[in-house]
A and B are shown apart, each in its own frame.
Chain A
């Protein structure tokens, strides 16, 4: 059998992250085309119990480094350990997560292995046995296809929420090999990890996002968006204008200098649609724009447009959503 497809499975706070399953599923899809198997690399602390469950997403064998020093992602420790495990797999290509940690890991790993990386891929194609990938550039204003030089081992980080996750094969367990690794001494360390337990939905991974822009006029007015978002189980985002005005935290910024998002539904309230914002949300599946200016550029991207004052319309919309939710439940 030809060389395997290797997937690096992202793990945090006691479990795999969803993107790990997406990457494993994509690895399985490619391995089937190439006629080979899927190996996974798993690094963390107390991860042995969970390792076999990757089999449900098509992984045949998992190489595990389990050490208390590998609890949290730290480039200095994770990169050399993961590089050694990848060499043990001796794969044809490696798939990783283009998550916050995953992108950082992928880049440093690329230098350590001296192999070429394409980050944040949204599509992988096997073309005559050769791998070809697509990634958005200029925050999605354009898409770039890349290929690797002859004999290279492609490193590919996959954008979360894009590649589909297979239906888990409940009874399938992956073979597990625990590898003894020497975790390098590090000069850097993780000194704090705070996970948000408020239950508020974050922008990354949100299925619905309600965003406000300059038209919100002031910080306190975002409460009407918060209320609508809560009913919809949505995250609240903001345009650069709203963040620069100090109305919303930077973590909520959607656009070329913020987050690129791809929810099922994006509701833009009081956002005119500067090109840098459109780049960040243009790949959302459905876009609703609410703006009192009928000429606002946001309407050119919207599936549904409402020309109304948002301060009148959002409360009316919230009321209608409340009615819908009460009849559905």
Chain B
């Protein structure tokens, strides 16, 4: 089975976010860069599919040179090879253009199944997977928290508000992943894995290599523009319920303020 995982690099979820001087980007100095956690779940699911069905796992990523480190991490987890769309500004061309570039790269890879996170922990746009599926004219199965494959058919479960849905598709199909670390428990890269990863093939592609017209991939052609960032309003300093009271007294005081002042219970 030819498995492709689309991977984005994002800042670690523990990162502190500050707005840069331009007022519309964030300060990236000091960021620790990681594989977008939802994409990491897709890497884990891909490696399990390979264990069951054989084949290869190809990592497909995009962005500036720093992304190579995350690609190597995925290779060290057990993926076989990688393709990187090397373009420092790829995200500034808009989500539609990014999805077109990813779809073009997937077409060159002859994939049976494409896996990726349902969203990224930075801009949380939740757009890439469904857009790529549309450009490939493939079905997609969204927000999987489990996946099973019998070699020709894929079944997933997805949570919805107040319930869950089971969905199925024939191959080829694109699957986006939800869930959490506890659900997927993505494996760590082993030391031998890290050594091997250094020698695994990583092909670098430009937009032209993908058969795309670079003139269409410019920030001024983006349909949506980020115009400014702002920090959320700071919460007013809270108050600690009187420390002189005993436990029952504090509980009574809390219920009183929630009922009479905040009016939330």
List A residues at the B interface (Cβ < 8 Å).
17, 72, 74-76, 79, 99-101, 103-108, 110-112, 114-120, 132, 135-149, 152, 154, 186-196, 202, 204-205, 208, 232, 240, 243-244, 246, 250-251, 253, 255-258, 264-265, 274-276, 279, 282-283, 285-289, 294, 299-308, 312-313, 316-317, 319-321, 323-324
Of the residues A99, A110, A256, A305, contact of B131 by C-beta under 8 Å: A110
- Across the interface, do A190 and B251 meet the contact criterion of CB distance under 8 Å? no
Residues of A within 8 A of B133 (CB): 75, 108
Say yes or no: A287-B228 contact (C-beta < 8 A), given A111-B135, A275-B14, A312-B247.
no
B226 interface hit (Cβ, 8 Å): yes
Tell whether, in the assembled complex, residue B222 and residue A149 are in contact, meaning their CB atoms are under 8 Å apart.
Answer: yes
Chain A residues within an 8 Å CB radius of B241 = 304-306
Q: B173's closest neighbor in chain A, by CB?
A: A188
Q: How far is the CA of A101 from the CA of B140 in the complex (A)?
A: 13
Q: Which of B121, B135, B179 contacts A138 (CB 8 A)?
A: B121
Q: How distant is B254 from chain A, measured CB to nearest CB, in Å?
A: 6
Q: Are A99 and B226 neighbours in the complex by a CB distance under 8 Å?
A: no
Contacts A119-B125, A149-B222, A320-B255 supplied; 6 other A-B pairs, CB < 8 Å: A149-B221, A187-B139, A300-B238, A303-B238, A312-B247, A320-B251
Checking A143, A257, A307 against B13 with a beta-carbon cut-off of 8 angstroms, the contacting residue is A257
Say yes or no: A202-B161 contact (C-beta < 8 A), given A145-B227, A276-B13: yes
Most buried by A among B15, B16, B37, B232: B232
A108 to chain B minimum Cβ distance, whole angstroms, is 4
Shortest distance between the CB of B144 and any CB in chain A (Å) = 12
B125–A192 touching, CB < 8 Å? no
Interchain CB contact under 8 A, B131 and A147: no
Contacts of B168 in A (CB 8 A): 188-189, 191
CB atoms of A108 and B131 under 8 A apart: yes
* B124: A residues at CB distance < 8 A: 119-120, 135-139
Q: Is B126's CB within 8 Å of the partner chain A?
A: yes
Whether B181 contacts A244 by the Cβ 8 Å rule is yes
In the complex the two chains form, is B224's CB within 8 Å of A202's CB? no
Q: Quick check: B239 and A305 within 8 Å, CB to CB?
A: yes
A112 to B241, CA, bound (A): 54
- Whether B206 sits at the interface, judged by CB under 8 Å, is no
Instruction: List 5 A–B pairs whose Cβ atoms lie within 8 Å, in order of A's numbering.
Output: A116-B223, A138-B11, A138-B124, A244-B181, A265-B262
**Segment with Cβ contacts to A, from B44-52, B93-101, B105-113, B194-202:** B93-101
Give chain B residues whose Cβ lies under 8 Å from the Cβ of A285: 264
**Chain B residues close to A by CB (< 8 Å):** 11, 13-17, 19, 26, 37-38, 94-96, 99, 121-135, 139-143, 145, 155, 158-170, 173, 176, 179-183, 221-232, 235-236, 238-241, 243, 247-248, 250-252, 254-255, 257-259, 262, 264-265
Separation of A323 and B37 alpha carbons in the complex (Å): 44
Closest 5 pairs between A and B when the two form their complex, measured CB to CB: A116-B223, A192-B166, A188-B169, A116-B224, A108-B130
Q: A265: nearest residue on chain B (CB-CB)?
A: B264
In terms of DSSP, what is the predominant structure of the interface of chain B? mixed
Residue contact A137 to B231, C-beta cutoff 8 Å: no
Report the Cα distance A319→B155, complex, angstroms. Answer: 46
**Contact flag A301-B131 (CB < 8 Å), given A117-B95, A148-B223, A324-B259:** no
Asked if A301 meets B235 with Cβ closer than 8 Å, knowing A147-B227, A265-B262, the reply is yes
Assembly CA distance A275 to B130 (angstroms):
29
State whether A137 touches B257 (Cβ < 8 A).
Answer: no
> In the docked arrangement, what's the CA distance between A103 and B125, Å?
9
Known A138-B17, A321-B255; judge A251-B159 contact (CB<8 A).
yes
CA distance A137 to B229 in the complex (A): 9
Beta-carbon contact of B131 and A205 below 8 Å: no
Q: A191-B167, A304-B257 are in contact. Are A119 and B142 (CB under 8 A)?
A: no
- Using Cβ atoms and an 8 Å threshold, which residues of chain A touch B229? 137, 142-145
Q: Is the CB of A313 within 8 A of B250?
A: yes
Question: Do B134 and A108 touch across chains, with their CB atoms under 8 A apart?
Answer: yes
B139 touches A188 (CB 8 A): yes
Query: How far in angstroms is the closest Cβ of chain A from B248?
Result: 5
| Chain B residues whose CB sits within 8 angstroms of the CB of A288 once the complex forms | 254, 258
User: How far apart sit A276 and B124, CA to CA, in the bound complex (Å)?
Assistant: 14
Question: Across the interface, do B243 and A256 meet the contact criterion of CB distance under 8 Å?
Answer: no
- Alpha-carbon separation in the docked complex, A205 to B225 (Å): 30
Do residues B224 and A118 form an inter-chain contact, with CB atoms below 8 A?
yes
- Could you say which of B163, B164, B227 contacts A132, with CB atoms under 8 Å apart? B227
| Cα–Cα distance between A110 and B94 once the two chains are bound (Å) | 12
Chain A residues within 8 Å of B250, by CB: 306, 308, 313, 316
Complex: A218 Cα to B111 Cα, angstroms: 44
Q: How far is the CB of A227 from chain B (nearest CB, A)?
A: 14
By beta carbon, the residue of chain B nearest A103 is: B126
B34–chain A nearest beta-carbon distance, Å: 11
In the complex, what residue of chain B is closest to A251 when comparing beta carbons? Answer: B159
Cα distance A100–B241 in the bound complex, in angstroms: 38
Nearest CB to that of B133 among chain A residues? A108
Q: Tell me the complex Cα distance, A107–B14, Å.
A: 27
Known: A75-B139, A76-B139, A308-B250. A303 touches B239 (CB 8 A): yes
CB pair B121 A143 closer than 8 Å: no
Question: B240 and A319: CB pair below 8 A?
Answer: no
Asked if residues B254 and A148 are in contact (CB atoms below 8 Å), the reply is no
B135 adjacent to A99 (CB under 8 Å): no
Q: Which residues of A contact B179 (CB under 8 A)?
A: 250
